[in-house]
A = this chain, B = another copy of it.
Amino acid sequence: MRELTEGDIEALAIGAAILGTGGGGNPYISKLHCLQELRRGMRVPLIGLDELDDDAFVVSMGGIGAPVVTVEKLQEGREGERAVRALEEFCGRRVTAVIPGEIGGANAIAPIIAAGQIGVGVVDADGMGRAFPEMQMCTFSIYGRRSVPATLTDERGNIVIFREALSEEWIEKLVRASVIAMGGAAVGAEAPMSGRFVKRVSVPGTISQAIALGQIVLDAGRAHANPIERICAHEHGVHLMDAKIVDLKRHLKGGFSVGTIALDGIDMHAGSRAEVVFQNEFLLFRREGRVEVTVPDLIVILDVDTGHAITTDVLRYGQRVAIVALPCHPVLRTPEALAVVGPSAFGFEGVAFQPLPLPNAESLP
């Protein structure tokens, strides 16, 4: 078990933005916050799944809301601690570790800050292996751990506890209503779990994976090497297209950033047209009208020169981008998982999930 360093957080912010597939919140502010806490003496052990006690009491947490809101409505700084403490008090049991609900974007860093503030470690794994827009789109929930009890707090100190819900979709609906009332972004803790369960269903090693990915981008920058090819090589990804954003429809709907990005190919892809559909995260890549990649595989939009991810909140007309697809973890490719995070769960009727090839034969953990 090692402690996370400032260098880890710098790399994590880059890697998590990539795995966030446009969402998970812009990691920039969370990174600054985490670095400040580390400089003030905060220590956060990174707990590998093999180091996690079976009887550990683990809480999933992260920000909930529209990414475009999180960059304007800033946090007060102790939201994560407050959400986890409220859940701890509700359950009457001390939390022994925090796990990111999703490794994407700011939500890779928020749990590290919360863990440090309450004085526990963060588990090197998460519930999505990427980011997804809705709470039930999480392996904890997919494989049987209800998200309730869950707590939600905002920068004002409001605290709401979700105690019972008819279904995971009802939790999402009720939590989302509170998030919207809180101004479009809030911080939640949910699904208290045993270490045993976390080991069985989480997407393993994703904090380390995001740090390594960020390091690759940093190294490519220093070496003046092509970051896109290095990212694809590291993640077994496919470089789909280099393009210019020629149209962007983005609006807030039901507390989500939703929209479509129109792309005109550039350089070796000149003359080709494509579009990406998003709901906080990029969901579907369609070229010349034909669907090529969909959730749960990761569609990533990168700055074509730097390899840094472009999140949905900072997309804009004229950006020159590389579109990359990365295969999701097998735990998201089971029939149970595809029912919750596959194309049909997002309303893409008649679109089947065509998995990107995995480096090795698919095998469930």
**A residues at B contact (CB < 8 Å):** 86, 90, 151, 153, 156-166, 170, 173-174, 176-178, 180-182
What are 20 A-B residue pairs whose CB atoms fall within 8 Å in the complex? A86-B163, A90-B90, A90-B161, A157-B164, A158-B165, A158-B166, A158-B174, A159-B162, A159-B164, A159-B165, A160-B161, A160-B163, A160-B174, A161-B162, A161-B163, A173-B181, A174-B181, A174-B182, A177-B177, A178-B178
CB distance from A167 to the nearest CB of B (A): 9
| Residues from chain B with Cβ under 8 Å of A174 in the complex | 158, 160, 178, 181-182
| Residues from chain B with Cβ under 8 Å of A159 in the complex | 162-165
| Residues from chain B with Cβ under 8 Å of A158 in the complex | 164-166, 170, 174
Alpha-carbon distance A151/B162, docked complex (angstroms): 10
| Residues from chain B with Cβ under 8 Å of A161 in the complex | 90, 160-163
Residue picked from A156, A160, A165, most chain B C-beta under 10 Å: A160
Alpha-carbon distance A173/B183, docked complex (angstroms): 11
Alpha-carbon distance A160/B90, docked complex (angstroms): 12
Alpha-carbon distance A139/B73, docked complex (angstroms): 34
CB distance from A76 to the nearest CB of B (A): 12
Alpha-carbon distance A122/B153, docked complex (angstroms): 34
CB distance from A47 to the nearest CB of B (A): 29
Alpha-carbon distance A180/B173, docked complex (angstroms): 10
Alpha-carbon distance A149/B151, docked complex (angstroms): 14
Alpha-carbon distance A160/B176, docked complex (angstroms): 13
Alpha-carbon distance A161/B165, docked complex (angstroms): 12
Alpha-carbon distance A85/B60, docked complex (angstroms): 27
Give 16 new A-B contacts, CB below 8 A, not counting A160-B174, A174-B182, A178-B178.
Answer: A86-B163, A90-B161, A156-B166, A157-B166, A158-B170, A159-B162, A159-B163, A159-B164, A160-B161, A161-B162, A161-B163, A173-B181, A174-B181, A176-B181, A177-B178, A177-B180
